[in-house]
Structure 1
Amino acid sequence: MPTQAKPNAAAEIVDEYLRLLMIPDPDAARRYVAPDLQIRFTGGQVMRDPDECAAFNATRYRWVKKRVDHTETVAGGSHEQTVVYSLGTLHGEWPDGTPFEGNRYVDRFIVRTGLIAQMDVWNDSAEWLIDRCGLRCKDYRAAR
């Protein structure tokens, strides 16, 4: 039978990793990741290291930070593997200096033996960028 994880240990790892990543301090964040880390950003962008997250964010935003609303640990996790979700909003500035806030995000993590092995990132940025480019699809409600 798997050993139960210390309550909130995996969530604490994720929260600290995200705090460091948003500074950005990818070198410090790297202390919390497994050597075989797999990161998938919105749109299928694949990364292997926290510095790639910082570099990707630098192309999309002038600056960006997360406001973590809550961190959820999936029931049944163990020291060997626990799934953790971080939910909240992004705020910052687009490359042209226009501020934004309230951009929802969900990050899903797999924490294995105390290190983050996988991170999947979803947020509203792509939709917001579509709006900024004037490429919004027709309102689905008006099409009925």
Structure 2
Amino acid sequence: MHTPTDPVAAAKTIVERYLERAMVPDPEGARAYVSDDFQITFTGGRRFTAPAQTAAFNAKRYAWVKKKFLRTDAALDPETGDVHVYNTGYLYGEWRDGSAFETNRYMDTFVVRGGQIVSTQVWNDSAEILLHKAGLAEAPL
């Protein structure tokens, strides 16, 4: 007897495996989880089409960075078959100036279609923290 795969559970696993590879960083390993027409939008509207591009961007901002997952949620769109996945938690690591951080909030949203990530949007506190470090924040963090 064939047991159907739960598309929501499968999409959550795909996203978490992608994020684990992306945080190594292993852009080639992360590439295995995304579609050929993959689109990623970072905070501030920066657009990329490949994990190697986001790894290069992160290398300019962080000495190193990892994600601590708090939760991964997902919902199936019954009309399209797409699964919308939401992963949230904290970034931790080290800024380029050598100072450590560990409570940088993030929220990533994904669209998984046919077993591959077709798009993601990334939000985090990094820009606000960097503004604060530069003395340019409009209000205290």
Tell me the TM-score normalized by structure 2. Answer: 0.91
Tell me the distance in 2 between the aligned counterparts of 1:77 and 1:59: 40
Q: Which structure 2 residues correspond to residues 1-144 of structure 1 after superposition, within 5 A?
A: 5-76=6-77, 80-138=81-139
Structure 1 residue runs of 5 or longer lacking an equivalent are 140-144
Q: For the structure 1 residues 77 and 122, does the alpha-carbon distance in structure 2 shift closer, same or farther, using more than 3 Å as the test?
A: farther
Q: Would you say the 8 A contact 2:106–2:124 is kept in 1?
A: yes
Q: Would you say the 8 A contact 1:79–1:114 is kept in 2?
A: no
Tell me the distance in 2 between the aligned counterparts of 1:78 and 1:46: 27
Could you report, residue by residue, the CA deviation over 1:99-132 in whole angstroms, capped at 9, with x for unpaired residues? 0011000000000100000010000001000000
Corresponding letter in the other structure for 1:102: T
Q: Would you say the 8 A contact 1:5–1:77 is kept in 2?
A: no
**Could you say which residue in structure 2 is the equivalent of 1:142?**
none
Corresponding letter in the other structure for 1:94: W
Give 1:78 deviation, angstroms.
7.9
SS at structure 2 position matched to 1:120: strand
Could you report, residue by residue, the CA deviation over 1:15-70 in whole angstroms, capped at 9, with x for unpaired residues? 00000000000001101000000000001110000001100100011100000111
Corresponding letter in the other structure for 1:126: A
Determine which structure has the larger strand proportion and give its number.
2
Give 1:136 deviation, angstroms.
1.4
The more displaced of 26-35 and 72-81 is 72-81
Give 1:11 deviation, angstroms.
0.2
- How many residues matched? 137
Could you report, residue by residue, the CA deviation over 1:47-96 in whole angstroms, capped at 9, with x for unpaired residues? 00000110010001110000011100025458831100000000001101
Q: Would you say the 8 A contact 1:77–1:83 is kept in 2?
A: no
Tell me the TM-score normalized by structure 1. Answer: 0.89
Structure 2 residue runs of 5 or longer lacking an equivalent are none
Corresponding letter in the other structure for 1:107: D
Cα-Cα RMSD:
1.9
Q: Would you say the 8 A contact 2:111–2:118 is kept in 1?
A: yes
Identity of matched residues, %:
47
